[in-house]
Amino acid sequence: MTQTVLLIQCPDKKGIVARVSDFVFRHDANIINSDQHSTDPEGGRFFMRLEFGLNEDKVPRAQFEQDWAAVAKELGAAWSLHYGTERMRMGILVSKQDHCLFDLLHRQRSGELRVDIPLVISNHADCRELVERYGIPFHHVPVTPETQRIAERQMLPLLRGATDFCVLARYMRVLSDDFLTVYGRDIINIHHSFLPSFKGADPYRQAHDRGVKIIGATAHFVTRELDEGPIIEQMVDRVYYKDTIDDLRRKGRNLEKLALANAIQAYVEHRIILDANRTIVFQ
């Protein structure tokens, strides 16, 4: 049996779950998990994630996809199928801060994060030793405001040829609209949730000076609008009156690592459906 995930979104109406379940049953597949959500049972949008075992000896995936496409057309559904035999390739971009990078490398090495990491690109050389210790190619591509266009032209062939998606693990450069268009695949970013209120240098000092009571981190998809992409995961922690600026930075790093790892886990397990500028993230 091939573990398979089907993601669906369509206009809501009665009988969708029954129709999909019956289709899977009639194609000799066994449902393992099923999650669904409707924004409004009357005229809303319907979202579904179905995980099942596909017996490819009896029903080849090409036949399954062809038959399902006809049903999806009836439902007016956008859909995607993902097979457990496929392992996603994740590129990483990083600058000097290595806490998120190290966490992802460890999770991948331990098998907790089921991805391949074909390369890491950085605008600084600081993380080279760490990355190469894990046997992963490291590419140092320096970037300045004057050389960004040239640097991106160096990065794009590396990423397009080797990755299915990309993660900005505290990469402190803003990717251009042209880069996003040419790369054409999903990019996940992590940042501290202070950005809307505390922009510029040293946001943790600004937050400490303001006496904030909660700090957080946000993982989101990258879009042309800076830090405005659909949110995948958010984590928060309490701030106490005794906490120093270093305490806030430590808590922030921990939150960033966990939020980013959770977001990537949801992505590679195909638990995310995009709905305009928001996400449906199934548990």
The Cα angle at residue 152 between residues 147 and 155, in degrees rounded to 5: 130
Using CA of residue 219, residue 220, residue 222, residue 224, what is the dihedral sign?
negative
DSSP SS3 for 56: coil
* 266 contact partners, CB below 8 Å, separation of at least 6: 232, 233, 272, 281, 282
Question: How far is CA 26 from each of CA 62, 153, 281, rounded to the nearest angstrom?
Answer: 16, 49, 28
Q: What are phi and psi of 100, to 5 degrees?
A: -70, -40
Token pair recorded at residue 101: 């990078």
Which residues are CB-contacts of 5 (< 8 A; sequence separation ≥ 6)? 49, 50, 51, 81, 82, 269, 270
Q: Which of 116, 126, 227, 237 is catalytic?
A: 227
Residue 227 annotated in active site: yes
| Residues with a known catalytic role | 227
